Structure 1
């Protein structure tokens, strides 16, 4: 089934969003390394995961300013600044793989295509990897931020790709940016299409010697390794029928969605739903929600752009199975959760085609929670 793309910002150059007075980050489960009243510089560490946490989350301030609050969230008041660059492009072969992984870790880099999986863990699979793919397909409707990054910062993306390859010992690299419509860009499909490998059920691309990273993740890796710059911001597509000035904007992480929409001349009275991320895989947000590294969009949608599920009884039509890129039956997985749920990417295709208008994405998330 063809889904309308609504990619009206594809030719809009990246612009820097006017900054908000402050940025905010959740502190739950993290160890704070600052206190209220402390002065901070852009790039300075604010909080980190406990030592035993393998995900090793690092949160750095995108602002020069002061810490005005530490609980329940860390709030920094100030203004953004460009972290001083300490180099240009560094030859990947001159670096030890362990150094690249450590730089990714302390920079707080995560998957910026929606998954938010820590990049340092993706680069340390413990298995042989021969190919690294940068996923530039960006098939979600409305979103064009990755496409613009590829156009405007191609050299930085290429550098990040080579650094990732060095980290995992891969000899082959490529950028996949073919546009086949949504849900094109599904990782396992890319591995099959570009490498000829079938990723078995319950496994990931690294099990067949491939890792896949997002365009902006690759750029962030370049900045971390070559420039000493932590992950402080990202390019976001701001779009939707209520937005007066849609486009692709460089936004500091921790910026409230309400500020983003205000700066883009959004008519709040027209909003039927605010979405952080894309309309298929993103999450409904509030104006107080903050921009996170995984989110490629801030969408202010009007009534004609949304359709809320009503959850009528399943009619056993099988449309969810046909639509699923992983070949899963949403109906059966909701009723009887099993490990094949791990192949579900929550792309929303099952819900999109369901004639009973069931909230299948929410139900599948609940089913995943049952199997752990």
Structure 2
């Protein structure tokens, strides 16, 4: 096998689940010859007992698994639900390709047909090891961000920060489609966004940020929605926009009040339908994002002046969080000063 030592270590405990003893022996023999440790189970009950006793690094599972109280697909659903970090490779017989593809959609890593070919099996095991390692790395990064951007970052004992802390805590616990965060420049709108994302239901998804005031209208549109090759001069290859990049996560639109009215109309359609079309594209693309918009402007006043679309405002303003200025929370200054000193000491390796 071309697996390096790290990949072998990651797949050193493989559980093979198949009601056919000869298939178990075949797969077990192929993997043992490559220096990998394996276990076998002939039915769902034994498989669940094995996983409960010791979580495997990889599962190879027969699709049908006859003679059990659960077939392979039902068992797959159980593994995906209870052990999402463990990759599952399905074993399918000839003529079961459609079912095997369906298993991938339900969460399986991939599938292999009977009789198992050594080369194909090796490639799948190596790929599953890399996938598991990447997922662990992502989970670790997410956990680091969770620790960095927690509700504890909202320090202070003033009434204003207490109310803000309670609201952020409540909002983070429920899924939402969109929200607006308001507050003066420097009050921490970006910090609140990070806390909401990494403490919320989409913490494992990406957090994509853009400052809408930093880009001209045409460039902002192409960044948000992406473009196809040849869509305009200089568009040499396809570019996925920020809506696509934020799929399953959060899109943070800072300084939302700076977007011009024409682009606001296109943004409204994307927010309403969760569907976008790249510049120069022929097809619409579904996206699954929650949107956090931030501004230091009074958007209701902007609406009354005709500078911000009322329909976009109401679509975004499902939840509204206002961040108090420092002058509204002077009682928090002593704690904030200590926090800033500690952060500066950590960055500069000093002890002030």
**TM-score category by the smaller chain?**
under 0.3
The answer to which structure, 1 or 2, has the higher relative contact order (CA under 8 A, 6+ apart) is: 1
TM-score scaled by structure 2?
0.20
More strand by share: 1
Considering only CA atoms, is the larger Rg found in Structure 1 or Structure 2?
2
Q: TM-score scaled to structure 1, two decimals?
A: 0.20
